[in-house]
């Protein structure tokens, strides 16, 4: 499993190409040839960039869902809506499909933010808004998510 580190401010050109920062490109170097999947986020107006190995693991998990349950089919359809295969070109650029840029409201200013094993792709203004929105409750959220008794942290 890959674990990305960092948050990076970038710019998208008129065609939706984003030059990856060197630090992020270096982290991706071992997996660049495998390709990536880009999709809309479930919870926010941003995109998610999955390394192919991570995407395949997620699809294996989804494939175990009973497809004779309508809610499972509905979820899978919505989750995979607009999914695209993408590559990082030889110059280190990611081409974000226009329809996904529109869905996420991405304009020129872009933030690439590590989400452990994926990269979130945000319009800069939206990213800053979400951070501000969740700042007040972050301590409570951290306690709820990470502070359970009996959990062993390394």
Q: What global pTM score does this model have? A: 0.89
DSSP string of 100-147? HHHHHT--SEEEEEE-SSSEEEEEHHHHHHHHHHHHTTHHHHHHHHH-
User: For residues 116 and 3, is the Cβ–Cβ distance under 8 A?
Assistant: yes
| Cα 10 from Cα 8, distance rounded (Å) | 6
pLDDT of residue 151: 54
Residue ranges and CATH numbers for the domains of the chain are: 7-143 (3.40.1550.20)
List the pLDDT tens digit at each of the 154 positions of the chain: 789 999 999 999 999 999 999 999 999 999 999 999 999 999 999 999 999 999 999 999 999 999 999 999 999 999 999 999 999 999 999 999 999 999 999 999 999 999 999 999 999 999 999 998 887 788 888 888 888 766 565 5
Q: Around Cβ 38, how many Cβ atoms within 10 Å?
A: 23
């Amino acid at each position: 499993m890959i674990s990305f580190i960092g948050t990076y401010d970038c710019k998208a050109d008129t065609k939706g190409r984003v030059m990856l920062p060197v630090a992020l490109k270096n982290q991706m170097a071992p997996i660049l040839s495998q390709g990536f999947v880009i999709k809309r986020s479930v919870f926010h107006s941003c995109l998610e960039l999955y390394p192919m190995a991570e995407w395949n693991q997620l699809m294996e998990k989804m494939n175990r869902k009973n497809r004779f349950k309508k809610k499972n089919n509905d979820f899978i359809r919505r989750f995979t809506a607009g999914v695209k295969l993408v590559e990082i070109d030889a110059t280190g650029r990611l081409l974000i499909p226009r329809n996904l840029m529109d869905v996420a409201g991405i304009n020129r200013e872009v933030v690439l933010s590590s989400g452990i094993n994926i990269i979130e792709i945000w319009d800069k203004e939206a990213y800053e808004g979400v951070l501000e929105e969740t700042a007040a409750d972050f301590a409570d959220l951290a306690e709820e998510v990470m502070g359970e008794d009996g959990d062993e942290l390394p």
